[in-house]
Amino acid sequence: MTESRDSFNAFAKDLYDVVSRSASAQNCVQGSNMIFSPASIQTSLMLAFVGAAGSTSEQLRKGLKLGPEDRQEIAKIYHDFWSRLSECGERLKLKTVTHFFVNEQLSVKPDFAEIALDYFQFKPQKMNFAQSAKATQQINTLVEQVTENKIRNLLQPDAVNAETSAVIVNALYFKGLFHKPFSPESTMPDDFYVNKKQLVTVDMMYQEDKFKYVELPDLDARAVALPFEDSDISMLIMLPNKICGLPELECKLNQLDFWSIDKNMQMQDVEIAMPKFTIEFDLDLKDTLQQLGITDLFGDGANLSRIFEEAKGQKISAAKHRGYIDVNEAGCEAAAVSVLKVVPMSLNMNKETFKVDHPFLFLIRSSKAIFFVGRYLEPQQKNYFQVNSVLTDSLLPLLTR
């Protein structure tokens, strides 16, 4: 993990490859809209890595692309990475919160507690899991607070019980203003091609300005970056040239070098049309992680001996993740005022037209990491005209064997 961005991005691409194939298989040919956070998932599993030993530790190291450093050095690299990101301006929110709720009958090893405090900024919190309804409510309340009430009732009342050793929760929340917002007055109904034969009416946003843009002939696609204020974070829209070209693009994503895309992007006059959209996506991580080679963690061979003082073994019983994204003209509820941009009515012969009217891939990323990745295939419900917010929760309950 010498270069944290290499770790975050390599894991993100591996994860997207597995999740997209699994989601498509579960939803027949077309698949489903998706949004999830590789950064949140990697962070919660990184804490499990700190408490793992033996082959469990090595599987997590390999699957998470963590590199050869020891667990304390990896935790430090993680801490430094998020500390730098906290330097964003006031008009952008990017926060991550990790909590470790531990069964009140168990004791956490001092070394694990020290790393948790120094690098993950929390103290393990004792909890009576036998009172399952009260315990899950406490965890749900934390999640709601961190995600500003966008994710509610993550856990059912029976999600934990007296046999639960601990629950790891990581929440990652993002909210940003587009540096160049769309004008609400320009939004109008337009067609979105779900496939060559099916059209759906969506609320299409429009604007023309200078954006970073690139043609991607090897991927048979194009891309444009919509920057957010007060940071180097942007929303990268990757649009296949073909209406039904997204599956082909997804197959090539794992070999994609995002840094070469950044290098080749140039500022150009671009006329953008893209739909407002909202996606909420639940992901059962257990099967996904097993496909990435992280298998011991969920079986009787799990070695999490660096967490608890007690000799009795623990394993991960479940791994759940929920992602949410809402994209509108302004990108933030604080920008309630309409923005009208006046431009000359001259004919620009060098203008690129970037109309997002068929399935596409999107990423919320910076020069350091991919925070969120997803795809939009078709409207699943009435669009919400609220804030541009992206948030996730990763949940890892540990059960005593």
Same domain? For 294 and 375 the reply is no
322: three-class secondary structure by DSSP: strand
Give the range of the structural domain holding residue 211, as residue numbers without chain letter. Answer: 184-277+326-383
Same domain? For 171 and 226 the reply is no
Q: Contact at 8 Å (CB) between 47 and 98? A: yes
Cβ neighbours around 322 below 10 Å, total: 23
Q: What is the CATH number of the domain that holds 267?
A: 2.30.39.10
Same domain? For 216 and 357 the reply is yes
Same domain? For 296 and 157 the reply is yes
Q: Report the DSSP pairing between strands 92-103 and 125-127.
A: parallel
Write a three-state SS string for 44-71.
HHHHHHHCCCHHHHHHHHHHCCCCCCCH
Same domain? For 224 and 190 the reply is yes
What backbone phi and psi angles, to 5 degrees, belong to 356? -90, 80
Same domain? For 227 and 251 the reply is yes
Same domain? For 147 and 168 the reply is yes
Q: Tell me the sheet residues that pair with 221.
A: 216, 240
Same domain? For 29 and 91 the reply is yes
Same domain? For 229 and 334 the reply is yes
Q: Contact at 8 Å (CB) between 106 and 308? A: yes
Same domain? For 97 and 244 the reply is no
| 19: nearest Cα among 43, 5, 37, 46 | 37
Global pTM value? 0.84
Task: Report pLDDT for 110.
Answer: 93
Q: Tell me the sheet residues that pair with 379.
A: none
Burial of 169 (0-12, 13-18, 19+ CB in 10 A): buried
Q: Which residues contact 82 (CB under 8 A, 6 or more apart)?
A: 96
Tokens of 283: 């992901």
Same domain? For 198 and 284 the reply is no
Task: Report pLDDT for 382.
Answer: 40
User: Chain-centre distance of CA 163, in angstroms?
Assistant: 30
| 71: nearest Cα among 301, 306, 395 | 306
Task: Report pLDDT for 2.
Answer: 44
Q: Indicate the number of domains in the chain.
A: 2
Cα–Cα dist 205/329, whole Å:
7
Same domain? For 152 and 286 the reply is yes
212: three-class secondary structure by DSSP: strand
Task: Report pLDDT for 95.
Answer: 75
Q: Region of 161 please: left (phi>0), alpha (psi -120 to 50) or beta.
A: beta
Q: What is the CATH number of the domain that holds 19?
A: 3.30.497.10
pLDDT tens, position by position, for the chain (401 residues)? 445 557 778 888 899 998 888 765 444 344 689 888 888 888 888 888 999 999 999 999 999 998 888 889 988 988 888 777 666 666 777 777 778 888 888 888 999 999 989 988 888 889 898 899 998 898 888 888 877 777 778 778 888 888 888 888 877 788 888 888 898 889 999 999 998 888 999 999 999 999 999 999 999 999 999 998 888 889 999 999 999 999 999 988 888 888 888 889 999 999 999 999 888 888 888 888 899 999 988 888 888 889 888 767 787 777 778 888 888 876 432 211 212 111 222 344 567 899 999 999 999 988 778 888 999 998 864 433 233 345 555 555 555 44
| 366: nearest Cα among 254, 274, 236 | 236
